Chain A
Amino acid sequence: MTDIATQQPTAPVTRRRPPRRWTAALAEFVRVDIKATVVGLVVGAVAWQLLALVINANWLPTFDTIVRRVGDLLGDGKFRKELLDSVGSMMIGFALAVAVGLAVGMAMGLSRLARYAFNIYVDVLLFIPPVVVTPVFFAIFGLSNSAVLAVIFIFAAPIIASTTKAALLNVDHDLVDAAASFGANRVQKALLVVFRAALPMIFTGLHLGIGRAVKGMIIGQLILAVVGIGAYEARFEQAFDSAGLWSIAVIVVIVAIVFSWLVHFADRLVNAWAYVGGERK
């Protein structure tokens, strides 16, 4: 659902070698994924500048003001440190979510007992907005970075677990049968066939997960308002410094997109076979 590019109506089926080496994968990735985005962004920047000049409101500074402000912020060592700390805690939270989400999801995908035991809880966690548990985390961890880590975790882990489970259950049973007919045992079937075949969809889960991890990081810090980017936001907001707020928004969006791309790139690298003949199947 998330990836717009996968929803193109008819991908032309071409017979070409899959991008196997990482340089080829990178070139392909730049061609398909980055080009469209860059073009779109340039058009958007021009539109923004014109709109800001016409409206002339405090809350909408001109684009060039924001660009200069982004430069100022990134040049400021203290801000850089807060930004890197925030990104760091996002990565730690995401790593925790991946570890737990994969473990639970794989258990649920491979064992019926685990499915019965955890399914309802994973579903419930997907149904409630994860932000609702932030007061609970603040009660447990206090107003600390650990609370933000927990928020990031709870944003990302359930979708990873759920997608991993679905990925394993969705594996074409014919493949498993074929392996069985050649005498594959349970472990061989799980590792050589099921997990491998499930990887593209597992990466879909990781892709969704990284997006949610960034959201969790921002929301956790905004509510906490004393660490990282969230502290800056609180300060700018009190000063009605909309250029500062927009600059942070721009930086955060860039961080979100870069991480989204990183996961997408890893996907193209690991699952090159699934991209044979254009977009992923």
Chain B
Amino acid sequence: MNPTAKPAAGARLGARGHIDVDGVTKRFVAARGRGSQDVVALRDTSFQVRRGEFVSVVGPSGCGKTTLLRMIAGLSPIETGRILIDDRPITGPGPDRAVVFQHPSLLPWATVVDNIAFGLRLRRVPKSTRVTRAHELAALVGLTGFENHLPGQLSGGMQQRVGLARALAVDPQILLLDEPFGALDEITRRQMQDELLRIWSGTGVTSLLITHSVDEAILLSDRILVMSGRPGRVIEEISVGMSRPRERGMETTQEFVELRHRIWELLSAPVGVATNADE
């Protein structure tokens, strides 16, 4: 589709990124009638994610974060601008990327193991291999003993563990997390953040996390992209210089508090005129 996928494109930005988002704009055509206007969800957004990096995107509701992630996942078409992965433009979903959704979207008729193995099944991995792998991942995310339960028998947090395991099962190069803990209660959410920290440090997979939570972004990320309200664009890139492995308690360090303060300043700054759009 895009013949300019040459190394030069990356070179322009300095270091070559694993994910390159370049001048992406997304507008939604308004529904017929009711005199509504088209909505610009994303405006001229550019950033890159390096291999093995954990990057978070924070921003107010409606800033196009999820749209951005869906485009990188290959679920939504890219109309203006381009997104490259390993210097190649996206044409659709690919085996190199896996998504963890806000609503875990598990198949309700399939057991935990079958859900975890779902991506492998689509890739025609032999049954014995994929079942073994699914059991390993169930253990990794702390679901030992629940392998044959159905999603309807699990709590929200456990369902999200299955969602995470399903994504990791296909051994992705890039993990896309769309507010994965957004629907969980605060206590479960903290547990899941700890789990994600632990699992991620073991794999080092390139990760992009969409989140509403500033603390979650700081806790988990190497870098944070702060987005403005609609039309969304990246207003600031913040490097989190805190060392890994990270652990609980770091929220009280001065560095953490200052970072949090700075991000909140950015998020609460009035941006343009379009902020009070339909929300």
Contacts and interface: CB of A to CB of B under 8 A. Distances in A.
Interface in B206-237: none
Given A174-B103, A276-B150, A182 B109 contact: no
Nearest to B119: A182
A177 interface: yes
Contact of A276 (B97, B105, B153): B153
A178 B94 contact: no
Interface in B143-189: 149-150, 152-153, 166, 170
A183 B93 contact: yes
Interface residues of B, number: 27
Interface of B is mostly: loop
B150 A181 contact: no
Contacts of A277: 152-153
A182 B97 CA distance: 8
Contacts of B152: 18, 273, 276-277, 281
A172 B103 CA distance: 11
A271 interface: yes
Contacts, number: 68
A181 B109 CA distance: 19
A182 B103 contact: no
Q: Which of B94, B119, B166 has the most CB of A within 10 A?
A: B119
A78 to B, nearest CB: 47
A175 interface: yes
B150 A177 contact: no
B107 interface: yes
Given A181-B73, A181-B97, A174 B105 contact: yes
A178 B122 contact: no
Given A15-B153, A277-B153, A182 B122 contact: yes
Contacts of B54: none
B108 interface: yes
B107 A182 contact: no
A19 B101 CA distance: 29
B10 interface: no
Contacts of A276: 150, 152-153
B98 A182 contact: yes
A193 B109 CA distance: 10
A-B complex: 9 closest residue pairs judged by Cβ atoms: A276-B152, A178-B105, A182-B119, A273-B109, A174-B105, A181-B99, A181-B93, A183-B93, A184-B122
